[in-house]
């Protein structure tokens, strides 16, 4: 019998959508009991949100001052202590989960499965490697805890409407003081979050400058989209790093992805291959982005994008 513990991701105020996606993944394990743990300083609101996720049997809260903001070295020993009661511990393959989960796995003395994209059995899974150029089937040992991150772009968030019980847990764990939070700088943007957005407008090196990215922003704002970018655009300093989509940036699955002036290196494609519809606008008709796009338009982005912005809405 599988009992899955999902680590909630949140910012102290609201639950990140990655949590309901991890629950959706856990629900693929036949007959699994799914529980969510929320670690923070004061998490009643976040726990209530987690209790609404369909498929969750119970929400466990661990509240202590040191848990806010989340620091992997501080959360990991608490998660590892709680994990004793579970067969599986799942977290999202976001920066939060990627940072935390291997630390938990090592404390439990197990290897971790990164980026589950499908569940084949309680201990068998599929995951992408080589920037998504290969998919490997893996089998975890049945006699130790399965610690894994869930490739959230592969899952649709589990529905709401549930009302699971919420209980607080007292965990005995040594909390280190060697790691201290200093600050979080977030882009002061009213635009949707890249991970959660249904629509993403993404720009590449062909934009040519930070100023020219204004074209991308205008189109995005017209259709309520989040901003994405290629590594080349980030490296050139046109856009901040948190916008980067791809193997080493964010892996996303919006309903609509519009790639503008992005040639489509394999490392970029791997970040968008689960998107609903991919639109590519590029002046080079040989650009590899057209191999994977649902709708392609060859031409000069500097005339097409303003025209498209005007035509929409």
Partner 1 sequence: MEKILVGLKRVVDYNVRVQVKSDGTGVETDGVKMSINPFDEIALEEALRIKERGDASEVIVISIGSSEAQQQLRTGLAMGADRAILVESSSSTDALTVARVFKAIIAKENADLVILGKQAIDDDNSQTGQMLAALWGRPQATFASEVTFAGSTAKVTREVDSGLETLEIDLPAVITVDLRLNEPRYVKLPDIMKAKKKPLETIPLADLGVEAAPQIKETEFKPPEGRQRGVMVNDVAGLVAALKDKGLV
46 lies in the binding site for partner 1 (CB under 8 A)? no
Residue 170 or residue 285: which is nearer to partner 1 going by CB? 285
84 lies in the binding site for partner 1 (CB under 8 A)? no
Site for partner 1 in 139-168 (CB under 8 A): 139-141, 143-144
Binding partner 1 by CB under 8 A: which of 98, 191, 205, 218? 98
Q: State in angstroms the smallest separation of the CB of 290 from partner 1.
A: 7
Binding partner 1 by CB under 8 A: which of 194, 200, 216, 287? 194
Binding partner 1 by CB under 8 A: which of 19, 67, 87, 112? 112
Stretch that binds partner 1, among 32-40, 81-89, 164-172, 241-249 (CB under 8 A): 241-249
Q: Give CA–CA dist 107/20, Å, rounded.
A: 25
Judge if the upstream peptide bond of residue 69 is cis by omega within 30 degrees of 0: yes
Q: Give CA–CA dist 270/248, Å, rounded.
A: 10
- C-alpha dist (Å) from residue 87 to 21, 57, 72, 160: 19, 15, 21, 25
Q: State in angstroms the smallest separation of the CB of 55 from partner 1.
A: 24
118 lies in the binding site for partner 1 (CB under 8 A)? no
226 closest CA partner among 247, 264, 206, 253: 253
Binding partner 1 by CB under 8 A: which of 2, 3, 11, 17? 11
300 lies in the binding site for partner 1 (CB under 8 A)? no
- C-alpha dist (Å) from residue 206 to 53, 289, 290: 42, 13, 16
Q: Give CA–CA dist 282/206, Å, rounded.
A: 9
CA–chain centroid gap for 270, Å, is: 14
């Amino acid at each position: 019998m599988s009992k899955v513990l999902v680590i909630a991701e949140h910012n102290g105020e609201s639950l990140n959508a990655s949590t309901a996606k991890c629950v959706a993944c856990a629900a693929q394990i036949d007959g699994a009991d799914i529980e969510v743990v929320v670690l923070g300083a004061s998490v009643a609101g976040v726990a209530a949100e987690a209790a609404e996720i369909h498929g969750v049997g119970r929400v466990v809260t661990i509240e202590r001052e040191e848990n806010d903001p989340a620091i992997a070295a501080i959360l990991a020993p608490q998660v590892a202590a709680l994990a004793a009661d579970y067969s599986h511990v799942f977290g999202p393959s976001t920066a939060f989960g990627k940072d935390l989960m291997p630390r938990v796995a090592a404390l439990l003395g197990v290897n971790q499965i990164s980026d589950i994209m499908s569940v084949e059995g309680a201990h068998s899974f599929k995951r992408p490697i080589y920037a998504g150029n290969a998919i490997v089937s893996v089998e975890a040992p049945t006699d130790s805890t399965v610690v894994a991150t869930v490739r959230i772009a592969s899952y649709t968030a589990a529905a709401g409407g549930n009302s699971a019980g919420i209980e607080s847990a007292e965990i005995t764990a040594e909390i280190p003081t060697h790691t201290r939070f200093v600050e979080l700088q977030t882009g002061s943007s009213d635009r949707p979050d890249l991970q959660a957005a249904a629509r993403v407008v993404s720009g590449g090196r062909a934009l040519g400058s930070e100023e020219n990215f204004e074209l991308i922003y205008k189109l995005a704002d017209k259709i309520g989209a989040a901003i994405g970018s290629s590594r080349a655009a980030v490296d050139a300093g046109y856009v901040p790093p948190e916008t980067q989509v791809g193997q080493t940036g964010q892996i996303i699955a919006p309903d609509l992805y519009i790639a503008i002036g992005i040639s489509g290196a394999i490392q970029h494609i791997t970040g968008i291959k689960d998107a609903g519809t991919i639109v590519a606008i590029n002046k080079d008709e040989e650009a590899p982005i057209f191999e994977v796009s649902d709708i392609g338009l060859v031409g000069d982005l500097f005339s097409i994008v303003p025209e498209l912005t005007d035509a929409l809405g």
